[in-house]
Structure 1
Amino acid sequence: MDRPLGRRGLLMTGAAAALTLNGVGFAEAADGDEKTQVLRGHLPTGSPDYVYLPVEIPRGVREIVVSYSYDKPQVPPGTQGNALDIGIFDERGTELGGPGFRGWSGGFRTEFAISAERATPGYLAGPVRAGTWHVVVAPYTVAPRGLDYEVTVTLRYGAGGETPEPVYPPERARGRGRAWYRGDCHLHTVHSDGRRTPAEVAEAARAAGLDFIVTTEHNTSSGHAAWEGLWGDDLLVLAGEEVTTRNGHVLALGTDPGTFVDWRYRARDNAFGRYARRIRRAGGLVVPAHPHATCIGCNWKFGLNDADAVEVWNGPYTPDDEVSIAEWDNTLVAAARAGSRPGSWLPAMGNSDAHREGQDVGLPQTVVLADDLSRQSVLEGLRAGRSWIAESSRVGLSFSAVGGPGRHAGIGGRLRAERDEPVTVRLEVSGAPGCSVRFVTDQGQLYATELPASGEGTAEWRTTPRYAAYVRAEVRHAPADGGASGLPGAMAAMTNPVFLGGDD
């Protein structure tokens, strides 16, 4: 059944424009029957971000199966081709942030199924109740001649089974008391566009020497209950989501398991603040991801006012990470005036964003000082900026500033000192052969030195609060071009700042 795109049904939802087309209906049928209908349509360039295809579901349906395809014509160099995402909402509706969400696979899968007993990864198991469901297709990019799609909906009739109660990871692991804990807070599995299973990610996390991980699937909460038996006293697993909008991605870190955060808006819709509050109400942190990534829709356009931290290093170190760090560093001057209390400045994080074999879990990783290995303590440490970033668990460091008798401050803290009082900044590093150390302040880099060939050493520098409002440390590899370009080498580790002067 062809469904041409028209203006009928155009909805302005308070966020991105959405179009609802005419739908299809199914009649009731006997147990064991299977009925199929096909919807075909054309989406021109400039189509709304989300196009809803209503499906009338009768009573007595056991399972719904949806598959889709679309054309991929050749396009001139430099022109975007066709890419179409897909998901589904049940009879409770498509309202932004509403209860109707039943799953999303983006462009990663061509078919999914939902029944009471089970669902395709990325989708939520539960009864297939009677009413108007909506398949949503989302034209990510559209070729100049438009996009032709075909969606096939199959209903399988019969009595539904029981939906299993989700089993979520515990909020605490054994830990080592107050200590530095290593984690990777941006990971994908088969529940979105990853190739690894949760079991394979857990195995890789342990091999990387991590103490905690956060599951952050694109636009779905289906992975929260996929870790049964995979956590342990040695590994804390936290729930989250990578909220993937058309104007950037944001990590919802450490939310209550089962929390779903909507993504159907752009920066121009002035809607993100609502969803940032949703993340915090669910106990999580708001962390823009890879803000200067080069993929379409990956640049962060919503600003940093609603953020709790920012992911400045994503995966193997690249030039866009360099830009993200420079932008983040520019925010620290205002923070130095405002004080160093949690929430008064924006901590930096690093995560792997690993999807498949060949992408290392824990490259990089965020190392956080927490009172114990628990959801609450880890999130408190991240929010306070008591953290640093390393390319692997082989790298260790300690960074602090010392003033007069009995006065010192560590990463994320403030050293109380008079404006002209001498302050000693000290960095101890291990596991970084061939690297150099840099101390960066509100003026930029003011000190640098080479580490011994072993990669283990100590660097000290003296300053005053008048000269440096804050100091942070970087451990860098040698430049790939030998320094000919004047650009620094790739990062091996970096810290959040220690602020100098004033009151706590």
Structure 2
Amino acid sequence: MRKDAQHPIRRTDIHRRALLVTSAATALTLNGVSFASATGSHDTRTVRGTLPTGSPDYVYVPVEVPDGVRELHVSYRYDKPAVPPGTQGNALDIGLFDERGTDLGGRGFRGWSGGARSEFFVRADAATPGYLPGRIRPGTWHIALGPYTVAPEGLAYEITVTLRYGAPGATPRPSYPPERAAGRGRAWYRGDCHLHSVHSDGRRTPAEIAALAREAGLDFINSSEHNTHAAHAHWAEHAGDDLLILLGEEVTTRNGHVVALGTDPGTFVDWRYRARDNRFGHYAREIRRAGGLVVPAHPHATCIGCNWKFGFGEADVVEVWNGPYTPDDEVSLADWDARLEAAGRRGHWIPAMGSSDAHRDPDRIGGPQTVVLADELSRTAILAGLRAGRSYVAESSAVSLDFSAVGGRGRRAGIGERLAVDRDAPVTVRLEVSGAPGCTLRLVTDQGTLLTSDSGSVEWRTTPAYASYVRAEVRHPATVPGLPGALAAFTNPVFLGERS
């Protein structure tokens, strides 16, 4: 260790041999920094090191914090060398755990900003967005580093920790948005359940998001910041009789992202595991115990760590359409559709939904949006509608549709329901669409697309023996020969016939 005149510096290189010894673990603790008893107004320490390729997913830098600290401030930087085409460069995420430790699912979590910020602070009365305010208690804190990608020459970093001393302020009591809005009774409600604010890697404030949601004709939204619940206490003033605000998190693992949708206020869901660690089932159950839904997000996205590896056994709903319609959404739609027939026969199928995943301008909130049939505009009713699949997805509030199947004796089933009639009984399927000029209507079954129409409505007659389910798609004209046009809307299925 060497020191300069102002900032004691500790170097913490990880040698390749040491890495091989610890490679079975998903985390590693480095040498850290220690502060003496509080003297003066502040004290600063700097730690430097280099992470090699093959580093663990999470690396922890201990910080020994004395009594009498008013604020903890962290800044960091790391080298970003040029790399050859096709080679991953350096990307280093960062977060913070307090003296209660870094155990999975433990109480020590104090914030996460991923790669969105180069510095943050925590104190009793305030914190950087993405971090939780609270007293700086003495003990061993940990700066969490997430080497997302590492260049061949390694990832050299520098972390500067500043402690400011003095009496702590008062921690504000969190206020959360109400779980019910006025609504329209039993009706179709429009929502966007996956979006980001300044509390993770978004650029919009909660106030700006709420205003844009209202402009987009939405009735509800869901807070879904990456790996932090710090935004939960910042939404209450933006809710109203016309906008229900649900609380959640986008659990961003190295093997896929999952939206924890509509959880209890203040719920933190850990993300520090891969599929091979066999931990996802535990945290999926934690989401449900907190009253929320488990929603795999953009399961076929091509970004590093985005492709879904956990299987769908724990999913309540799956996000098939994410943001502007792209080929990976088409793959997600096909993959979801391929599971419908067998799942429908067993009676346990996974509904689909769509969300904007909006981060910043020009990302469009409500593009797409999920339209849910619910008994009222409340957290309980909206989640029940989503879980049951009583929903469709539309590119905007301009697009509306009515889709149902009718059998003998006046039996009728809507989206997400089952028309329980004999396998040879005649069934009439009806679809009416508004707000999608120039689009093609399609009826899709377990055999594929069986009917298309360029008009605003379509009627089709079938039997459960011929089609075990039917769902609707509304598509724009194709722009690439041989490929279907982008979606303007699609529905969850109506199942036909008795359950086998």
Shorter chain as normaliser: what TM range? Answer: over 0.9
Which of 466, 476, 483 is the equivalent residue of 1:487?
Answer: 483
> In structure 2, how many angstroms separate the alpha carbons of the residues matched to 1:146 and 1:335?
46
**Matching residue of 1:80:** 88
**Matching residue of 1:425:** 429
Matching of residue 169 in structure 1 with residue 165 in structure 2: no
Tell me the alpha carbon deviations over residues 172-205 of structure 1, each in whole angstroms, 9 at most, x when there is no partner: 0000000000000001000000000000000000
Shift of 1:16: 5.7
> In structure 1, how many angstroms separate the alpha carbons of the residues matched to 2:138 and 2:421?
68
**Matching residue of 1:153:** 161
Shift of 1:336: 2.2
Long gaps (5+) in structure 2: 1-9
**Matching residue of 1:460:** 459
Structural mapping, 1:15-26, within 5 Å: 17-26=26-35
Q: Residue 8 of structure 1 contacts residue 21 of structure 1 at CA under 8 Å; is this kept in 2?
A: no
Task: Tell me the SS of whatever aligns to 2:28.
Answer: strand
Tell me the alpha carbon deviations over residues 82-129 of structure 1, each in whole angstroms, 9 at most, x when there is no partner: 000000100000000000000000000000000000000000000000
> In structure 1, how many angstroms separate the alpha carbons of the residues matched to 2:307 and 2:136?
37
**Matching residue of 1:473:** 472
Shift of 1:268: 1.0
Task: Tell me the SS of whatever aligns to 2:36.
Answer: coil
Structural mapping, 1:444-459, within 5 Å: 444-451=448-455, 457-459=456-458
**Matching residue of 2:405:** 401
Shift of 1:227: 1.3
Structural mapping, 1:355-366, within 5 Å: 355-366=359-370
Aligned letter for 2:248? Answer: G
**Matching residue of 1:338:** 346
CA root-mean-square deviation: 1.4
Shift of 1:266: 0.6
> In structure 2, how many angstroms separate the alpha carbons of the residues matched to 1:172 and 1:8?
54
Aligned letter for 1:377? Answer: A
Matching of residue 67 in structure 1 with residue 66 in structure 2: no
Report percent identity of matched pairs.
72
Q: Residue 91 of structure 2 contacts residue 148 of structure 2 at CA under 8 Å; is this kept in 1?
A: yes
Tell me the alpha carbon deviations over residues 356-411 of structure 1, each in whole angstroms, 9 at most, x when there is no partner: 01000000000000000000000000000000000000001000000002201000
Matching of residue 53 in structure 1 with residue 61 in structure 2: yes
Aligned letter for 2:91? Answer: A
**Matching residue of 2:289:** 281
**Matching residue of 1:27:** 36
**Matching residue of 1:454:** none
Matching of residue 39 in structure 1 with residue 43 in structure 2: no
> In structure 1, how many angstroms separate the alpha carbons of the residues matched to 2:461 and 2:344?
19
Which of 392, 416, 420 is the equivalent residue of 2:420?
Answer: 416
Aligned letter for 2:320? Answer: V
Structural mapping, 1:161-240, within 5 Å: 161-240=169-248
Q: How many residues align?
A: 490
**Matching residue of 1:105:** 113
Q: Residue 10 of structure 1 contacts residue 20 of structure 1 at CA under 8 Å; is this kept in 2?
A: no
> In structure 2, how many angstroms separate the alpha carbons of the residues matched to 1:264 and 1:27?
31
Tell me the alpha carbon deviations over residues 52-80 of structure 1, each in whole angstroms, 9 at most, x when there is no partner: 00000000000000000000000000000
Matching of residue 497 in structure 1 with residue 493 in structure 2: yes
Aligned letter for 2:461? Answer: R
Aligned letter for 2:87? Answer: T
Shift of 1:11: 10
Shift of 1:22: 1.4
> In structure 2, how many angstroms separate the alpha carbons of the residues matched to 1:29 and 1:416?
73
Q: Residue 53 of structure 2 contacts residue 154 of structure 2 at CA under 8 Å; is this kept in 1?
A: yes
> In structure 2, how many angstroms separate the alpha carbons of the residues matched to 1:383 and 1:171?
17
Q: Residue 366 of structure 1 contacts residue 389 of structure 1 at CA under 8 Å; is this kept in 2?
A: yes
Tell me the alpha carbon deviations over residues 431-476 of structure 1, each in whole angstroms, 9 at most, x when there is no partner: 000001110001111111112xxxxx21111100000000000000
**Matching residue of 2:3:** none
Shift of 1:228: 2.9
> In structure 2, how many angstroms separate the alpha carbons of the residues matched to 1:375 and 1:162?
31
Task: Tell me the SS of whatever aligns to 1:405.
Answer: helix
**Matching residue of 2:386:** 382
Q: Residue 19 of structure 2 contacts residue 55 of structure 2 at CA under 8 Å; is this kept in 1?
A: no
Shift of 1:315: 0.3
> In structure 2, how many angstroms separate the alpha carbons of the residues matched to 1:450 and 1:124?
53
Q: Residue 346 of structure 2 contacts residue 499 of structure 2 at CA under 8 Å; is this kept in 1?
A: no
Aligned letter for 2:482? Answer: G
TM-score scaled by length of structure 1: 0.95
> In structure 2, how many angstroms separate the alpha carbons of the residues matched to 1:140 and 1:114?
24
Runs (4+) of structure 1 moved beyond 4 Å? 6-13
Shift of 1:5: 1.0
Long gaps (5+) in structure 1: 452-456
Matching of residue 370 in structure 1 with residue 374 in structure 2: yes
Matching of residue 244 in structure 1 with residue 252 in structure 2: yes
Matching of residue 2 in structure 1 with residue 11 in structure 2: yes
- Do the aligned partners of residues 10 and 286 (structure 1) sit closer, same or farther apart at CA in structure 2, a change above 3 Å counting? farther
Task: Tell me the SS of whatever aligns to 2:236.
Answer: coil
Matching of residue 307 in structure 1 with residue 312 in structure 2: no
